[in-house]
Structure 1
């Protein structure tokens, strides 16, 4: 007798879960630059380490790529570099083409160190919201001074960074020049940090040791800024650090609560949603008859995926099940009686168990409840002496 194995969709989900840790600690950065070396058609590069950085572009743009590659707990998996011309009269067309290009690329974080200068912050905010809400493309962008974004997919980076550069005068003296990185110029570094943050930790208090100082705010102003959805840097007395890793989302609703304010939790939610969505598309849709037994197969596979995430410390718990209320509403909308177990009834008269097994055509209605695990960020310690 042939050896039996788990159904293939369960195996696929388990493989997805097993790889989530690796993917979650090595995200992909989409970096959009403008350079005089490009005259018409934008140039594109895939950069995995500093040896791949193109030398045809300016030193400043090369540095932006290197900034993104630094990461945090790990380096990003890669940086997708899109280099546009500097022609100002075509800025609108260039950004439109760039957004179309990245709609077919896989990445998690975007940075554009000229987006504020180009006057395109609002366009990028609108595009990111549209991709997340309408296309289920769970991308995020680090934008400078995007105070009105109010979106979990937009990180509103607002701090200036400072770096001391030393030059030898040739007479046994040196000159120290303090270089300022504006908020928009700092976005590649921040995107790289977030792309290189392990899925089990947060970027809160991530050190930026490659900078020597940061635009300083007093504690009260920092608290106010963080509460307004601004990601800041601060000086801890010895080095520059990120403040609490927050998104620009501030207006909670019945659908979106405080979890959408934290970068770590949003990243976890995005990866889980993308995993389930792509696995269902690749391994389930069109490959199984829509019977109750096959719906249960899918539910079991998703719950197995959740359990693997529980074991890896990414979530506290997760459960998927048939969405009885939505399925009942669908059956009622069809405007006809339903036959279940040889008996014909009106949809409103069906029991919950009968709704579960009812024929729903090509539709599968599921709901899942997931409890996310946050990182340690707030510690209260009382010392008695």
Structure 2
């Protein structure tokens, strides 16, 4: 008869997790005169929003400016893989704010957002606020923004002054599209640390001390090692840690893995479990077994080092006490099997595999 449907759904998610992680989606918010100009409405100034989905360079629309075509092409380069897709959200080049485009982006699936005019348009803080709101609402999107000390794992603070492709100069904000594509195209089992950027011939140069300080302050930089241009340590803008968010949340690779797992479990449970099973202990065990199967597949793919899931006994106890039940004589097994209404309280512990980024090798002579 095969496995129950919920287990099959989680197994399928696990099988595709690595592929989806390797091929993220980049959203580019672009301004172009090809889109209808701003019009006045009862709600104030608005602009039409055009959405174009691009999988390969041949899909890049020729109706937009040459500069915007280059932005899309740069995002498509990727790293170990190209991104799965670039979604261009295009507004008129006279639009003063990004309100309409951000509303549209709330309905579009993507992993990394870049906006090559965000600093020029003085919209950086508005985008930071929007990213934080999205993540607070469990929409785990991220943005690559120029020179932005956002102090959040949802924003990568790209902070290299200028880069050069032969005689063509790109400012920090103009090169964010390339960085977003690089991060979206990084294999889940590796990080974007020291990723080569073969198209670059030079960049703003800094001392070793300056680069160390930049990384410590949550800046994603690129540098010239004397032979080629490559990225620094792949960190996001988070610098303030606490008991819930430690140093692991500073690493782009680890946050990408956390976001992937949260998204998979939430969406698969919604599609294949919620509302479809009575809340019995046996069915809770069914869900736990399915999630554990998902974790085990990620372990086999070298994304996780270890992972376990179980009923949250403490949460069950608190729930029952809140409903006036006497839990003083209940064992852990009793609490696990207790009726918890429509809620399943689970707890999981995972250990995410990081990439090799530091080597310690004392050499005796």
Which interval holds the TM-score relative to the shorter structure? Answer: over 0.9
**What corresponds to 1:83 in structure 2?**
90
Distance in 1 (alpha carbons) for counterparts of 2:162 and 2:192: 17
Instruction: Choose from 100, 108, 128 the match for 2:111.
Output: 108
TM-score, normalised relative to structure 1:
0.90
| Counterpart in the other structure of 1:127 | 130
Q: Does 1:376 align with 2:345?
A: no
| SS at 1:231 equivalent | coil
Q: Kindly indicate whether residue 49 of structure 2 is the aligned counterpart of residue 46 of structure 1.
A: no
Compared with structure 1, are the counterparts of its residues 348 and 120 closer, same or farther at alpha carbon in structure 2 (3 Å cutoff)? farther
CA distance in 1, matches of 2:179, 2:152: 17
In the TM superposition, what is the alpha-carbon distance from 1:328 to its structure 2 partner?
Answer: 1.1
In structure 1, the partner of 2:140 is: 138
Say whether residues 1:352 and 2:332 are aligned partners: yes
Q: Is the 8 A contact 2:49 2:100 kept in 1?
A: no
Aligned to 2:224: 235
1:62 corresponds, among 58, 69, 79, to 69
Native 8 Å contact 1:332 1:348 kept in 2: no
Count residues in correspondence: 355
Distance 1:110 1:102 in 2: 9
Q: Alignment partner of 1:347: what SS?
A: coil
Offset at 1:333?
A: 1.4
Asked if 2 retains the 8 angstrom alpha-carbon contact of 1:35 and 1:83, the reply is: yes
Secondary structure in structure 2 of the residue aligned to 1:91: coil
Question: Hey, what's the Cα distance between the residues in 2 that align with 1:86 and 1:132?
Answer: 28
**Mapped partners of 1:79, 1:348: distance in 2:** 56
1:27 corresponding residue in structure 2 = 24
Please report the TM-score for the alignment, with normalisation by the length of structure 2.
Answer: 0.95
Contact 2:90 2:101 in 1 (8 A): no
**Cα-to-partner distance string for 1:354-383 (whole Å, 9 max, x where unaligned):** 111111110111111000000000011233
Partner in structure 2 of residue 258 of structure 1: 247
Structure 1: segments with no counterpart, 5+ residues:
166-177, 338-345
For the Cα contact (< 8 Å) 1:151–1:249, is it kept in 2?
yes
Q: Secondary structure at the match of 1:162?
A: strand
Residue deviations 1:40-75 (CA, integer Å, cap 9, x gap): 412210000110001111111100000000000010
SS at match of 1:209: coil
Deviations 1:146-165 (A, max 9, x none): 12x11001000011343244
Are positions 1:322 and 2:322 aligned together? no
- Distance in 1 (CA, whole Å) between partners of 2:110 and 2:264 is 14
CA offsets 1:184-238 (integer angstroms, 9 cap, x no match)? 1010000000000000000000011111111111000100010000000000111
Whether 1:99 aligns to 2:131 is no
In structure 2, runs of 5+ residues without a counterpart are 38-47
* Distance in 2 (alpha carbons) for counterparts of 1:164 and 1:76: 21
- RMSD (Å) for aligned C-alpha atoms: 1.1
Do the aligned residues in 2 keep the contact of 1:332 with 1:347 (CA within 8 Å)? Answer: yes
